[in-house]
Chains A and B, each alone.
Chain A
Amino acid sequence: MRWQLYKKDPRFVFLSLIFLAVLLPWLPLGASTNYVLRIMTTAVLYMILALGLNIVPGFTGLLDLGYVGFYGIGAYTSGLLSIHYDLSLWVILPLAALNGALWGTILGAPTLRLTGDYFAIVTFGFSELVVLVLRNELWLTRGPMGLPGISPPSIFGHPLASDWEFFYLILLLLMIVLLVVTRLQNSRLGRAWFAIREDEIAAQCCGVNLIRYKVTAFAISASIGAMGGAFYAKWFKFIHPDMFKFWESILILCLIVFGGMGSIAGTMLGALILIPLSEVLRAVLPQGLFNARYLIYGLVLVLMMRWRPEGLVPFKRAQAKKAKLAQERLEI
């Protein structure tokens, strides 16, 4: 009887998916295993980023176009800290997260009382400013020369080198982020966020202080983005301001729009489908056209909004399913 319940529980589904993912490096794919691993690592990284972004438009219903700014801040925090102070990843991650949260609060506090359109533009302006600062403040970031030679993370003194080690690391990070996001979702905070998303005025009259909760959402989203960036710097070992252009924000937005804004499962699914797809595109299209893969992402956004704005896993259905599960759990 309990088994029936477990089968429908999304947590179980994901645990089994992750179990399969863990097996992945050991599958006999031959020489291309590393390549597949790198793609999966990228996919999981984007899953983390998408989960972070999902909090703002997905939970609170505001469009954040400047997410890549926090991604870049996290990456540069991590890169600079490891180059200048040679700190371990486990110190850098929380520091990057805190830095992200700090900037999220600084940006969010004055701007979150604006209407949706203006807020979107302001976040966009912010991310552009971040890129400009990254590019021009040579004394801090070495600007267009980039930041090479970031040391890889090490566990108990053993520096991570092979692809499967990084893959497991990012999986671990994904678990942490998933834990955080699901805990938040099923709590007073998550409910307040959904209330804001559904109807701001009613939420206010129910005692939800809009600014406080919006800023919290924004700060948490920023810190997750920064954590993703921190990992990215340590994995890629080289960062450059051009990696954090506005289009990355659009890509991540595309992932959550495609998967379903507001539902965690949908977000992860969106990343899981679209990121390997872009790799497929890279193999299929000639080099020059590959840079235009954002064309596809733009098209995806337009088409999704036209024909299935709720995404693959609609928020409504996710909520209904959650309610049904709660009911069944109560009856058992």
Chain B
Amino acid sequence: MENLLDQSSLFLQQLVNGITLGGVYALIAVGYTMVYGVIQLINFAHGEIYMLGAFLAYTMVTVLGIPFFAAFILTILVCACFGIILDFVAYRPLRNAPRLAALITAIGMSIFLQNLAMMIWGSQIKSYPRDMFPAIFLKPALSIGEVSMTWIQVFILSITVVCMIILHLIIHKTKIGTAMRAISQDKTTSALMGIGVNRVISFTFAIGSAMGGMAGVLVGLYYNAIFPTMGYIAGIKAFAAAVLGGIGSVPGAMLGGGVLGIAEVMGAGYISSEYRDGISYAVMIAVILFKPSGLIGRQIGEKV
């Protein structure tokens, strides 16, 4: 009987951890899915923006001495700008090029940025200094029996939820959100209707990158470890989440992120911790093979 209780509290604790991780993945996944929705490109460099967010916050706090929350806001803004620059420099010139070319450019940018970060910050794992954020973060916020949730987790979850709500409002209630949805259906017609396609795409990148950068800081906070290659690992997992939910669909990305986060934590706990990353890859491959439209997404056909 006791064993069962232990088992279930372990399970619930894992669930809590999983949902937290899932929230982070959802934040990153949303960036992928929005960009794919408007320009049908998998932005490989998105993971790098996430990584940059983590490092920027780190630099701001340690080198520039900016207090944490200010650094957090600044990082988000810088990442948004960075997303716009990325689109402008790398993807916009290739707007009408074949898909393969754009894909290769995305990969090239991703590799370039990873190594740039390595050159700037070195490849060792860094962690945020202890005194950087309020000590209360480490304390558990609520506990039910053996299951507890720290304030960090609450912070992450609440930010995630707030962001999702804001995003939903933007997409469905504002003019630019409608423009985004229009472009994802038909770019040419949208342009003909007077929508400034490039502007809207830049905006999409800005939002996606802002959220990605945010996720980076949150992860750095949560796991207390940042390194230049964290981007591409998390990037692939977030992409898996986006595909799981249905690429091109924002609620799908949120759902996929949650599911993947839970699956990863459960898998790491119950199956094997060495293959922790492998679980995401396996999920991704499985989803792509068996249900490429994901849980919520839609199919796109080609006109002959």
Q: Which residues of A contact B (CB under 8 A)?
A: 57, 61, 63, 65, 110-111, 114, 116-118, 120-122, 124-126, 128-129, 132, 135-136, 201, 246-247, 250, 253-254, 257, 288-289, 291-295, 297-302, 305-306, 309
Contact = CB atoms under 8 A, between A and B. Distances in A.
Chain B: number of interface residues, binned into ranges: 35 or more
Contacts of A61: 100
B125 interface: no
A173 to B, nearest CB: 28
Given A291-B118, A298-B108, A299-B108, A63 B103 contact: yes
Contact of B281 (A110, A125, A301): A125
A111 B104 contact: no
B107 to A, nearest CB: 6
B42 A301 contact: no
A115 to B, nearest CB: 8
Contacts of A124: 236
B275 A305 contact: no
A294 B41 CA distance: 23
A264 B244 CA distance: 38
Given A128-B281, A253-B104, A305-B94, A294 B239 contact: no
B70 interface: no
Nearest to A299: B112
Interface string B86-97: 000010011001
B100 A301 contact: no
A136 B274 CA distance: 7
A110 B111 CA distance: 28
B105 to A, nearest CB: 4
Contacts of A121: 42, 236, 239, 243, 284, 288
A129 B285 CA distance: 11
Given A117-B42, A246-B232, A306-B93, 15 more contacts: A116-B99, A117-B99, A117-B103, A122-B285, A122-B289, A126-B281, A136-B275, A257-B104, A289-B119, A291-B118, A297-B108, A299-B108, A301-B111, A302-B105, A309-B97
A247 B102 CA distance: 18
A86 B232 CA distance: 39
A264 to B, nearest CB: 19
A291 B41 CA distance: 29
A294 B304 contact: no
B101 interface: yes
A301 B277 contact: no
B33 interface: no
B99 A250 contact: no
A129 B279 CA distance: 9
B119 A295 contact: yes
Given A116-B99, A125-B281, A302-B112, A111 B236 contact: no
B104 A63 contact: yes
Contacts of B113: 298
Contacts of B191: none
- Interface centre among B94, B111, B112, B281, by most chain A C-beta atoms within 10 angstroms, is B111
23 contacts: A57-B100, A61-B100, A110-B289, A111-B288, A114-B292, A117-B41, A117-B42, A118-B243, A121-B243, A121-B288, A122-B285, A135-B274, A201-B302, A288-B122, A291-B115, A294-B114, A294-B115, A295-B119, A297-B111, A301-B104, A302-B90, A305-B108, A306-B94
